[in-house]
Structure 1
Amino acid sequence: MPSSHPADEFRFQDAQEDEKQKKRAPWGVMALVLLTGLALIRNGSGEFDVGPPQPASAAAADHTPEASADAPAPLIFSPAERIRIKGIQVDAPVIPVGLDPEGWVDAPPPEDPNLAGWFTGAVSPGEKGTAVIVGHVDNQQGPAVFYGLGSLEKGNHVEVRRKDKKTAIFEIYGIEVFDKENFPGKRVYGNSGTPELRVITCGGGFTEQSGYDGNVVAFARLTAVR
């Protein structure tokens, strides 16, 4: 797998133009992982009789919603510790993930199916900007933490407990699957100026040669803090 892809990097950097001065900004590398298809879930097997659910067309995000008048103020930085998504029975610890020795975004260890990763190159969940949490769709033993991600609907909630003991609650406003060869970096990672969250796993079709050919992405915005 090549370590660079100028066209994809340019497309992503254009989406993040207003974030150039942020100290946590190895975004180009993360975009390349998703855009060129080095699967977040390298060991996803895709070998089960029933594959993971895929988002319905009606769940697509129409646009990035504007913050409502009663939206909570953005939080300060604090690492993510746990993610809960009641709609798909997810209650999993979150570990920080960065870059592996080859310069790609690392994924949580595939041996533990109930584990998610918060990408430390992005903001923390609840901060102004777009936070990113990734997880496996499956492994050799069966479904993993985000197997059911594609079945979520608009209005479902994602709760992320942070190290400061605050829980950031996000409401999903879109859930889509994107072909990794045409991954819309600007849509997924663009900063709307408000606290947002993306939850990402593998999805789409599967072949033994290439693995999953897409990524399922849940788009969500901060609606409450407790």
Structure 2
Amino acid sequence: MADAATDTERASSAHRAKGARSGLTTVVLGIVVGIVLIGHGLAQRSDGPPEPPTAASVFADDGAPTADPMERSVPTRVRIPAIGVNAAMMPLEASASGELAVPPPDKADMAGWHDGGVTPGQLGTAVVLGHVDSRDGPAVFYDLGRLRKGATIEVARKDGRTAVFTVYGIDMYDRTSFPSKQVYTDAHRPELRVITCGGTFTPGTGYSSNVVVFARLTASR
């Protein structure tokens, strides 16, 4: 495992409040560059984080119905059966300058959600992110690049309900040309973005890219 220059991870984002249908106030993240997750260089090894294949980046609406929006409720756990994720969640706040925090390095097994925006299942675009690796090895979203369209993401909530999302796209973007509008702009349906880092690791600057999973709410229980 390569040595990392730092354990500090940061996510650069500017956000603005926006009115959404049904009277909810949501947050749109206007990311200038991709989320910066400075990891520990496992991508330099043959067993480094997987990357989505080019074919996975083709976005197509498969006609699956979108479930009705859910009321706001704090997410407590995220499960992605296809890649073995079953992780507790913690809230992540944006600073006054618009920098979005990520889970601290000693909580690399946890996922975080942007609590300044909608919660998973609400109308709009909820954002979940987490580490790809740590000093101890693979972290919570190490295998995110293995996901394929049609996979299920389940988010357990404090109200006892579970929001079930279906993946309809996955791609990897260079941080310097990150398509913020496509990734973060609020949709007119309940959507989810799950993000980690990927691409080439460079000591001092971290990973060059972000893996982004796009999913929509298809059920609740």
So what's the TM-score if we normalise by structure 1? 0.82
Partner of 2:185 in structure 1? Answer: 190
Shift of 1:112: 2.2
Shift of 1:72: 2.0
Shift of 1:111: 1.1
Partner of 2:174 in structure 1? Answer: 179
Between the aligned partners of 2:95 and 2:126, the Cα distance in structure 1 is: 19
Return the structure number with greater strand share: 2
The one-letter amino acid paired with 1:89 is G
Partner of 1:134 in structure 2? Answer: 129
Distance change (3 Å), C-alpha of 1:207 and 1:111:
same
Q: Quick check: 2:118–2:124 contact (8 Å CA) kept in 1?
A: yes
Q: Quick check: 1:61–1:219 contact (8 Å CA) kept in 2?
A: no
Return the structure number with greater helix share: 1
SS class of match (1:174): strand
The one-letter amino acid paired with 1:214 is S
Between the aligned partners of 1:119 and 1:23, the Cα distance in structure 2 is: 14
Which of 145, 157, 163 is 1:162 aligned to? 157
Shift of 1:171: 0.4
Give the total of aligned pairs: 206
Query: Is residue 2:116 matched to residue 1:121?
Result: yes
Q: Quick check: 1:126–1:195 contact (8 Å CA) kept in 2?
A: yes
Between the aligned partners of 2:54 and 2:164, the Cα distance in structure 1 is: 24
Q: Give CA deviations for 1:83-110 in whole Å, capped at 9, x if unaligned.
A: 0000110000001101257641010111
Between the aligned partners of 2:58 and 2:115, the Cα distance in structure 1 is: 25
- How large is the Cα RMSD of the aligned pairs? 2.5
Q: Quick check: 1:198–1:218 contact (8 Å CA) kept in 2?
A: yes
The one-letter amino acid paired with 1:25 is V
Q: Give CA deviations for 1:39-91 in whole Å, capped at 9, x if unaligned.
A: 1x23x1114622100001111142466662xx321001111110000011000
Which of 51, 54, 70 is 2:48 aligned to? 51
Partner of 2:27 in structure 1? Answer: 25
SS class of match (2:154): strand
Identify unmatched segments of 5+ residues in structure 1. Answer: none
Between the aligned partners of 2:100 and 2:128, the Cα distance in structure 1 is: 12
Q: Which runs of 4+ in 1 moved over 6 A?
A: none
The one-letter amino acid paired with 2:27 is A
Partner of 1:91 in structure 2? Answer: 86
Partner of 1:223 in structure 2? Answer: 218
Shift of 1:119: 0.4
Partner of 2:3 in structure 1? Answer: none
The one-letter amino acid paired with 1:53 is P
Identify unmatched segments of 5+ residues in structure 2. Answer: 1-11
SS class of match (2:91): strand
Shift of 1:24: 4.6
The one-letter amino acid paired with 1:55 is P
SS class of match (2:82): helix
Query: Is residue 2:81 matched to residue 1:72?
Result: no
Q: Give CA deviations for 1:122-173 in whole Å, capped at 9, x if unaligned.
A: 2110011100000000011110000000010111000001111110000001
Distance change (3 Å), C-alpha of 1:87 and 1:67:
closer
